[in-house]
Amino acid sequence: MDDFLRSAEQAESFQSLAAPGITATGKPVTLAPVAITPEIPAYLQETYYWAYINPRNVKYLDNDFVVRTILWQQHRKLQRSAFVEIVPGQTVLQPACVYGSFSACLAEHIGREGSLDVVDVAEIQVINTRRKLKAFPQATVHHGNALHLNSKPFDRVCCYFLLHELPDAYKREAVDLFLNKIVPGGKVVFVDYHKPRWWHPLKLITSLVFDTLEPFAKGLWRNEIKDFASNPEQFSWRKETLFAGLFQKVVATRIC
């Protein structure tokens, strides 16, 4: 019960999110003040409807096999790389739903002494993720735009393969928001695509996929994640690349 009350209390602090929500356990929480259903951004509707809003495709894409395939069998390694930055018992924000079992694994990693808040603007993603997290009372899924988030700061923000899907202007807004949502000493953990080495055998096919289906992804080939921050000097930055540079983990730790 204490776990649920702590999760519900934090849920109430998401003041700019949409209307009354339901926790992963199916119990109602009140998000005040009540707001209208969040509007789906035009870029998401126009570019990613097929992947995240179309009910038929959501049904088929939301499984670990698809996630592992898309990430060239590196998903588990990338997930572990993100989780190593998160200590059980911490408060964590996940600013978008993720296909497969990622959120459930993150909630399990955090444990009942911690809390996980997931935010997504697409109602179908919210409903789907609530279903996957119903066994985790420490997890709450909110229907709202993470870029309009107004909440208490978190120990960690885990941004897993979100930035590459945002136009560069949104990348800047998102990075600044996430950096401003952590406590002193807290971390924002970004795991996403990165420009691979010139000889990488998957560079060409990845480039073609990006040009066809992921038009904003090459923003991470041209820019460092740190460069999207307005005040990078307020954080210490650590970066490592994985799978011959095709993926990256960037950790920003608040120092002031």
Domain of 99, in residue numbers: 2-254
Q: CB within 8 A of 212, min separation 6: which ones?
A: none
pLDDT given at position 102: 98
Average pLDDT over residues 152-164: 97
Tens of pLDDT, residues 87-103 = 999 999 999 999 999 99
Tens of pLDDT, residues 18-35 = 333 344 444 333 333 335
Q: CB within 8 A of 16, min separation 6: which ones?
A: 35, 144, 148, 149, 150
Nearest to 198 by CA among 180, 175, 221, 171: 221
d(CA 72, CA 193) in angstroms, rounded, equals 12
Q: For residue 232, what is the domain's CATH number?
A: 3.40.50.150
Number of domains comprising the chain? 1
* Angle made by CA atoms 251, 255, 256, in degrees to the nearest 5: 135
* Number of other CB atoms surrounding residue 124 within 10 Å: 16
Can you give the pTM of this predicted structure? 0.87
Strand pairing category for 91-94 and 115-120: parallel
Average pLDDT over residues 170-177: 97
pLDDT given at position 36: 67
Q: Residue 8: CA atoms inside 13 Å, Cβ hemisphere, count?
A: 14
d(CA 14, CA 233) in angstroms, rounded, equals 27
